Amino acid sequence: MVECFDGIQEPRPLPVEIHVLRVGDVAIATNPFELFLDYGVQIKALSAASQTILVQLSGRGWYLPSARALQGGGYGAMPAVSVVGPEGGGKLVRETLALIQDLFPNTE
């Protein structure tokens, strides 16, 4: 982690487990992160479901800082507590939205 932060080693993808469940018109999506607001708002705003519920910290649990959080510093953006950066946050948003879309195929 420190070597990645210091630029000595390239960061590697971190496989994580996420789940999406449909209950009527509602989507419930889980992930192992404590999402910074940016990601949760993006998922809910772009979701094909009429309501989207996010279940965070389902698993190991890390902070997932946004680019704004990294610029501002602070505890949640420190490498010791955030093993995934904004690029991974973007991917989490895209993957979650794709899984939700699969459950709501006729709503584009």
When pLDDT is averaged across residues 62-66 and rounded to a whole number, the result is: 86
**What are the Cα distances from residue 88, in Å, to 51, 69, 94, 107?**
24, 14, 10, 26
When pLDDT is averaged across residues 10-16 and rounded to a whole number, the result is: 80
**pLDDT tens by residue, 66-91:** 888 888 877 777 766 777 888 899 99
**pLDDT tens by residue, 46-59:** 999 999 999 999 98
pLDDT over 70 (residue 104)? yes
Model pLDDT, residue 85: 83
- The pairing of strands 26-30 and 19-23 is antiparallel
